[in-house]
């Protein structure tokens, strides 16, 4: 049998190739290019090798913002995942309550990020904001623009408000896919509410929860807009998470080399954590 040789089909791949090149490959390679060189503008570059990487990895500033970033992500995961599951468990399974709850839950997810930041900024202002003013009226010394603790509290509250819904919706979908027969079987066995949750609901939600944790990890680890609008990284540097710090370095100080090196390190950390986490969660699946 003679195969016709016709390589014209490759032309069809060109659009995707161009798109991916401009969308991902070229910008990434530019960053890689910057990270190994020093520039003073005018398109003049000088080779620096791994100097910027060493500098970033050893800099206290990077350690501090990385530490803040992990702390923030850890705290919001710790709040949002259990809270999301708990809300999903209490949501109605049928009747008119279902669409009402689903719409209410999706609301925060539909609001643009900078609007969320602005909303919370005004909401939390100590003199005129509803939250800030009420707290002060109740006798709490609350001022998120000046006290680091308050700034953290407000940022975390804002993120919980904005993103817990995502965990709720995913968990709710997971819960709804459990056949009623499972609950009946547990009831016949005489299992407690906790045992039903632990041995039926949680294992059955495993996949959507893995997804929820991954999404929330990535999103919160790369958070920029909301804290930028709310606190601008302040007071001082106390809420300057990695991306805020990165933008300061790249655009504020125009340190392109170190900023590029930091971007790449940042990128690899996200990749690494996701990879480790995903493999841990899916370990059992692979065995079967």
Read off the tokens for 48.
């620096």
Q: Segment near other proteins (CB under 8 A), from 53-61, 112-120, 192-200, 269-277?
A: 192-200
Phi first, then psi: give them for residue 58, nearest 5 degrees. Answer: -95, -10
Q: How far is the CB of 204 from other proteins (least distance, A)?
A: 6
Whose Cβ is closer to other proteins: residue 161's or residue 182's? 182
Tell me: does residue 61 bind other proteins (CB under 8 A).
Answer: no
Stretch that binds other proteins, among 113-121, 145-153, 182-190, 223-231 (CB under 8 A): 182-190
Minimum CB–partner distance for residue 93 and other proteins (Å) = 16
**Helix 26-35 with 256-281: angle, nearest 10 deg:** 120
In this complex, which beta carbon is closest to other proteins, that of residue 183 or of residue 278?
Answer: 183
Applying CB under 8 A, the span of 145-153, 180-188, 220-228, 263-271 interacting with other proteins comes to: 180-188
- At closest approach, how far in Å is the CB of 174 from other proteins? 12
Task: Identify whether the C-beta of residue 184 lies closer than 8 Å to the C-beta of residue 241.
Answer: no
Phi/psi at 248 (5° precision): -55, -45
Gap between the Cα atoms of 20 and 288, Å rounded: 36
Q: Which stretch binds other proteins (CB under 8 A): 80-88, 143-151, 186-194, 258-266?
A: 186-194
Is residue 286 part of the contact set for other proteins (CB under 8 A)? no
Using rule CB under 8 A, residue 181 touches other proteins: yes
d(CA 71, CA 51): 28
| 8-state DSSP, 179 | -
* Element (DSSP H or E) covering residue 45: strand 45-47
Q: Rounded to a whole number, what is the distance in angstroms from the first to the last CA of the chain?
A: 42
Residue 176 sits in the site that holds other proteins (CB under 8 A): no
- Number of C-beta neighbours around residue 246 at 10 A: 22
Q: What residues are paired with 47 via a beta bridge?
A: 37
The minimum distance between CB 14 and other proteins, in angstroms, equals 44
Cβ-count burial of 46 within 10 angstroms (0-12 exposed, 13-18 middle, 19+ buried)?
A: exposed
Q: Give the 3-state secondary structure of 232-281.
A: CCCCCCCCCCHHHHHHHHHHHCCCHHHHHHHHHHHHHHHHHHHHHHHHHH
Among 57, 89, 200, 218, binds other proteins (CB under 8 A): 200
Binding flag, residue 185, other proteins (CB under 8 A): yes
Least distance CB 202 / other proteins (angstroms):
8
207 part of the interface to other proteins, by CB under 8 A = no
Token pair 């993103």 is found at 163
How many residues make contact with other proteins (CB under 8 A)? 16
> Would you count residue 204 as binding other proteins (CB under 8 A)?
yes
Q: How far is CA 223 from the centre of its chain?
A: 6
Q: What angle do CA 285, 286, 287 make, to 5 degrees?
A: 95
- Between residues 138 and 286, which has the closer beta carbon with respect to other proteins? 286
Could you say whether residue 67 binds other proteins (CB under 8 A)?
A: no
Is 184 one of the binding residues for other proteins (CB under 8 A)? yes
Q: Which residue stretch of 66-74, 86-94, 187-195, 225-233 sits at the interface with other proteins (rule: CB under 8 A)?
A: 187-195
Q: Which residues lie near other proteins (CB under 8 A)?
A: 179, 181-182, 184-185, 187-191, 195, 199-200, 203-204, 288
């Amino acid at each position: 049998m003679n195969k016709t040789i016709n390589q014209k089909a490759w032309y069809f791949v060109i659009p995707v190739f161009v798109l991916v090149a401009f969308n991902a490959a070229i910008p990434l390679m530019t960053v890689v290019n910057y990270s190994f060189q020093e520039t003073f503008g005018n398109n003049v570059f000088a080779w620096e090798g791994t100097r910027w990487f060493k500098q970033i990895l050893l800099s206290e500033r990077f350690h501090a913002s990385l530490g803040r970033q992990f702390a923030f992500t850890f705290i919001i995961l710790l709040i949002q995942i259990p809270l999301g599951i708990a809300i999903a468990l209490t949501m109605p399974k049928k009747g008119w309550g279902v669409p009402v709850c689903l719409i209410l839950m999706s609301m925060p997810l539909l609001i643009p990020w900078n609007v969320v930041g602005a909303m919370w900024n005004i909401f939390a202002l100590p003199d005129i904001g509803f939250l800030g003013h009420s707290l002060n009226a109740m006798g709490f010394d609350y001022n998120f623009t000046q006290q680091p603790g308050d700034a953290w509290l407000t940022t975390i509250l804002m993120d919980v408000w904005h993103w817990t819904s995502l965990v709720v919706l995913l968990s709710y979908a997971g819960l709804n896919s459990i056949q009623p027969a499972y609950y009946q079987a547990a009831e016949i066995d005489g299992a407690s509410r906790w045992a039903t949750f632990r041995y039926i609901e949680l294992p059955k939600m495993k996949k959507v929860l893995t997804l929820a944790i991954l999404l929330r990890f990535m999103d919160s680890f790369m958070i920029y807009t909301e804290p930028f609008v709310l606190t601008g990284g302040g007071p001082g540097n106390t809420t300057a998470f990695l991306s805020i710090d990165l933008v300061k370095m790249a655009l504020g100080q125009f340190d392109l080399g170190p900023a590029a090196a930091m971007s790449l390190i940042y990128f690899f950390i996200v990749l690494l954590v996701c990879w480790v986490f995903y493999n841990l969660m899916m370990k059992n699946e692979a065995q079967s």
